[in-house]
Amino acid sequence: SPQGRSKKKSRKHQRFMERRALLEQKGLLSPRGRLGSQTPEAGLEALTKANGTTAPRCDKVPKPKRIVSASLSPSASPDSIARHHSVLLSQGNGSSKRVRTSSLVLRPGKYVAIDCEMVGTGPQGRLSELARCSVVNYEGDVIYDKYVQPELPIVDYRTRWSGITKQHMKNAIPFKAAQAEILKILKDKIVVGHAIHNDFQALKYFHPKDRTRDTSQIPVLKKRAGLPIRANVSLKNLARHLLHKKIQVGCKGHSSVEDAQTAMELYRLVEVQWEKELAHSLPPRPPSPVTDPSADSSQYLDDQYWPTDLMASGL
């Protein structure tokens, strides 16, 4: 009867509206109408595919949530990296495996570790000049390792500690050339090292403090090793206590590659906790490397850095 057909049509329309609402909820149909020229039947077909093995191609399909924030780029500032570590530590149970993976995904080339070997020059060989420099990446792979010819004649090779001999200097490159190559690698990187101020001094270079990680100055490493916080702890002792490995043994001198790799291992051992502590100590808006006195040599062009007699003669 007409009445029966009307009820049947009404139920069919009701089911259609329910399915349409479901399509809109899943993002397959626009709430204000159809998606493009898509018909309700086409929408139902897309829904069937979504529930089956083939996913529909639709820009409005909600993207799955990611555990790791994608807000950090390879050029992220040290402040944002440190704060990100703090967030990672608060997620879940603080799984070190998850944090390590996220670190590699976010900035695989952000960190490097450096170590330099010096020889004695000047009067009685008391001046220390660069004779070898090694740089490794986050994984400990060597990305730079060259012998360097000092600017002054070598008086003391310090072979027992440096491992440098006269033979090594035959293929050494000039200091200025090595300096340019090394600083190019260190640019915009967070640099790890042990008593790293000595390495920077040998390179005649100042690296921004907020981009430096000195394993000799970190209380968390000393605590973990069961050593006094204020004690001057050598890289050799930290490696023995925390990494259970022996370095700098024998009488052939240190290996700058081994020392750089060890510093990076120590950093990675306490990376999350270290960066979390840095995140709390850093100001909300850290100074830009361009305006940071420790990073910008152009500051020395200011009048205050010129000798008084020179200033007087220029007036």
pTM exceeds 0.85 for this model: no
Tens of each residue's pLDDT in the chain, 315 residues: 655 556 666 777 788 888 788 777 766 666 654 444 445 444 445 444 444 444 444 444 444 444 343 444 444 555 555 555 545 444 444 444 444 444 433 465 789 999 999 999 999 989 999 999 999 999 999 999 999 999 999 999 999 888 999 999 999 999 999 999 999 999 999 999 999 999 999 999 999 999 999 999 888 898 888 888 888 889 998 999 899 888 887 766 678 999 999 999 999 999 998 888 888 776 654 554 554 444 444 443 444 444 444 444 444
pLDDT recorded at residue 11: 76
Q: Is 193 exposed, middle or buried (0-12, 13-18, 19+ CB in 10 A)?
A: buried
**Tokens read off for 276:** 């979390």
pLDDT recorded at residue 275: 87
DSSP structure class, residue 289: T
pLDDT recorded at residue 9: 64
> Burial code of 78-112, b = ≥16 C-beta within 10 A, e = fewer?
bbbbbbbbbebbeeeeeeeeebeebbeebbeebbb
Q: Which domains does the chain have, with CATH numbers?
A: 111-281 (3.30.420.10)
